[in-house]
Structure 1
C-alpha cells in the first residue's frame, strides 16, 4: 500500500514539475538568476526572460527551449525588421557537444539555408553561456542595444546537430512563424507569429470551403439536378450562386496565400503556389465563360459546353490535390484532414450513385419516347 502511494506521489510530482516548466511566470532558474520580465513564445516550446535598462541599452536575456534530442537553439534580434525575418538577424546560438560540454557563440544570419556559422554581431555581447538539463537548453547573454530602445524584432529557431556541427533548420510550420515584435518596457508582444499562423489557417479554411467543398457541390447540382426535373432557371441559378460565392471566397483565400508568400520570402512551397495560381486562372476563366456563354441554338454552344465542363472538372481535381498539399504544409489536427477525406469519399459515392441513376432515368425516358406513337 505504501509503495502504491509513493508511486502515485512521484507521478503527481513529476507532472507538476513538468507542467510548471511549461510557463515562464513561475520558472525558477537553478543559477538563482532573477528576470523581471518574461514571455511564453507562441511556438517551438520556447520562452524568453529578460532584464532591460533603457537608459544604458543593456538587455540581459535567458532564452529557454525544450527539446528531447541534441539540437541547437538560437535567439536573435533583427534590426532590419521582420520583412526578411532571418536575413540580418543577430543571433546567440548554443548546443551540447558529444563530450557533454556546451558550446555558446554568436552568429550573424546571412542566408536562409544557414548552418549558423560563428561570427561577430553588431551588438556588444557579454556573459554568453548555456546550460542543458531536463531536456531544456537555456542560453544566457547580455546585449548592448542603442539607448532608449523600446521594441525589438526577435527571431528564434532550432535545428539539428551532426558531428558537433549545426545543420540547417527545417521549414516546417513552426520554423516559419517563429518571429515577432516585442516591447521591452511594456512586455507587449505583437504576436507576428500568431498572426501569420492565423492567416495560414484562414487561407486553408477559405480555400477548403470554396474550391474544395462548395464548388464541387455546385458542379453536382448542375450535373444531376435536371434528373429530378428541376426547372431550367432554378438549377442554373443555384449552380451560379454556388460557383460565384465559392469563387469570391476562393479568391480571398488565394490572395491571402499570395500575401503570405510575399511576406515569407525565406520559404517557398513551389508546387502549392503554382497549383494555386493555375486554379485561380482557370476559375476566373470559368466565371467569364458563364457570362459570355453562347445561346442554346448557337453553333458554338456545343464546343463551349465541352470547354466549360472540361475546365470545371479540372479545377475541382487540381483544387482537391492542392488542398491536401496545404494540409501537408500546415499540419493541422488530423480531425480536419480526416473530415475533409470523409467529405470527398461521401461526394464520390454520391456522384457514382447519381451518375448510375442518371443513366437509368435517361435510358427509361429514351425507351418511353421510342414506344410513343409518332404523328
Structure 2
C-alpha cells in the first residue's frame, strides 16, 4: 500500500559531487543535469517532459505521468537562500491553492513542506495542510550547482492545470521551526499547464485591469497634473487672475483623479495576496496631504492679513512634499507590480519634461528678479 503524505518528511541530499567550473552551469531543458542526480531523485526521471515555466526567475518544471494515478514532478530553481514554491490552484490564484515549498536552511539542511494557502494573512497560510496527496517515500529536495531541485510524486487522476509559482526575496529569512511561517513572496506567476505537451503558458494575473487603472490614475493625478498646477502657480502669475483659475482647476482635477486611483488601490489591496504595506502607507500620506491642501485653500486668509505669509509657507511646502512623495510612490508602485521598464520610462519621460520646463522657468524667474 502506498504511503501518502501526512507531514512531509523530506529526504535531503546536498550535491557533493566533485564539480569542475564547466560543470557548474545553469539548468535548462536541453541540459543533462538530471543525469547527475539520478541516484538522488527517488523515482525514474528518464521520461520527464521539460518546460521553462518562468524564464525570468529561472524556474524549470519537469513532469510526466508515471502511472494511472501517479504524476512525477521535478521543479528546478535558483537557490536564493530563501524559499521557492509551486502551487496547485483551483482558479489560478494563490489563495485556495495547496503549495509545495522548499528552501535551504541556515544550517545547510534542506526542507520541503506542504502549505494550504487559505488567505492572505500569515495565520491563513497553514503548514502541513492541503488537499495534495504526495508520495512520502519518493519525495526529495536536492541542492546542486547553486540550484534547488524539488522532486515529488503527486497521487491524482489529473492534476490541476492552474499552477502558481512564487519566489521569496533574498533578504528574507527562510521559514524556521516550530511554525515554519512563510514571509511574503517577492514575485509570482500563474500558468496554464498542458500535461500532454508538457508546456505552460502564462495567464493574466487576477485583477490586471484594476492594477493598470490604479497605476494610470495615480500617475496622471498625483504624478503629472499636480506638478503642472504647481508650476502654473509659481511661474505664470503675470497672467493676472487667470493663473489662479488654471492652478485651482488643474489641482482639483489632479486630486479627484488621484483620489480615484487611491480608492482603486484600496480595492485592489483587499483582493490580491501581496504585501504592499509601505506603498499603501505612502499613498495614505499623499491623500491626507491633499485633503489638508484643500482645507487650507478654503480657510486661506486675505492677501493683506498678517498671517498670510505663514499660510503661503505652509501651502507651498506641503505641496512640495506631496508632489515628491507622489512621484516616489508611482515608481515604487511600478516596482512592486513588476510592470516592466516601459512604465518607468514613460513616467520618467513625463517627469523629465516637467522638470526641464520648471528648471528653465525658474532660471528665467531668477533672471527677472535680478533685473
Whole-Å separation in 2 of the counterparts to 1:350 and 1:14: 58
Instruction: Give the SS at the match of 1:48.
Output: strand
Specify whether residues 59 and 256 from structure 1 end up closer, same or farther in structure 2 by C-alpha distance, changes over 3 A only: farther
Instruction: Give the SS at the match of 2:280.
Output: helix
Instruction: Give the SS at the match of 1:71.
Output: coil
**C-alpha contact 2:282 2:329 (8 A) present in aligned 1:** no
**C-alpha contact 1:128 1:140 (8 A) present in aligned 2:** yes
Report matched runs for 1:132-143 at 5 Å. Answer: 132-143=143-154
Whole-Å separation in 2 of the counterparts to 1:98 and 1:216: 48
Whole-Å separation in 2 of the counterparts to 1:301 and 1:185: 74
What is aligned with 1:45? Answer: 58
Could you state the TM-score of these two structures normalised by the residue count of structure 2?
0.62
**C-alpha contact 2:165 2:190 (8 A) present in aligned 1:** yes
Instruction: Give the SS at the match of 1:314.
Output: helix
Whole-Å separation in 1 of the counterparts to 2:55 and 2:263: 25
Structure 2: runs of 5 or more not aligned: 1-19, 39-44
Shift of 1:240: 5.3
Instruction: Pick 1 or 2: higher relative contact order, CA cutoff 8 A, min separation 6.
Output: 2
What is aligned with 1:152? Answer: 162
Shift of 1:318: 2.3
* More helix per residue: 1
Whole-Å separation in 2 of the counterparts to 1:285 and 1:98: 49
Give the structure with higher Rg (CA): 1
Shift of 1:170: 4.9
Shift of 1:77: 2.2
Matched, 1:65 2:82: no
Whole-Å separation in 1 of the counterparts to 2:160 and 2:60: 19
Deviations 1:113-152 (A, max 9, x none): 47x986254221013222221111111122234x466533
Whole-Å separation in 1 of the counterparts to 2:240 and 2:130: 73
Equivalent of 1:320 in 324, 328, 346: 324
Specify whether residues 212 and 312 from structure 1 end up closer, same or farther in structure 2 by C-alpha distance, changes over 3 A only: farther
Shift of 1:95: 3.5
Shift of 1:75: 2.0
Structure 1: runs of 5 or more not aligned: 1-9, 362-375
**C-alpha contact 1:73 1:93 (8 A) present in aligned 2:** yes
Whole-Å separation in 1 of the counterparts to 2:267 and 2:257: 15
What is aligned with 2:203? Answer: 190
What is the count of residue pairs matched by the alignment?
A: 325
Specify whether residues 61 and 202 from structure 1 end up closer, same or farther in structure 2 by C-alpha distance, changes over 3 A only: farther
Shift of 1:247: 4.2
What is aligned with 1:243? Answer: 251
Equivalent of 2:262 in 238, 251, 254: 254
Instruction: Give the SS at the match of 2:173.
Output: strand
**C-alpha contact 1:44 1:178 (8 A) present in aligned 2:** no
Report matched runs for 1:286-365 at 5 Å. Answer: 314-325=318-329, 327-328=331-332, 330=335, 353=363, 356=366
Instruction: Give the SS at the match of 2:100.
Output: strand
**C-alpha contact 2:89 2:160 (8 A) present in aligned 1:** no
**C-alpha contact 2:190 2:204 (8 A) present in aligned 1:** yes
Shift of 1:176: 4.7
Whole-Å separation in 1 of the counterparts to 2:232 and 2:131: 63
What is aligned with 1:215? Answer: 226
Whole-Å separation in 1 of the counterparts to 2:130 and 2:313: 60
What is aligned with 1:129? Answer: 140
Matched, 1:279 2:286: yes
Matched, 1:90 2:101: no
Whole-Å separation in 1 of the counterparts to 2:58 and 2:84: 11
**C-alpha contact 2:52 2:58 (8 A) present in aligned 1:** no
Instruction: Give the SS at the match of 2:154.
Output: strand
**C-alpha contact 1:108 1:120 (8 A) present in aligned 2:** yes
Whole-Å separation in 1 of the counterparts to 2:74 and 2:98: 15
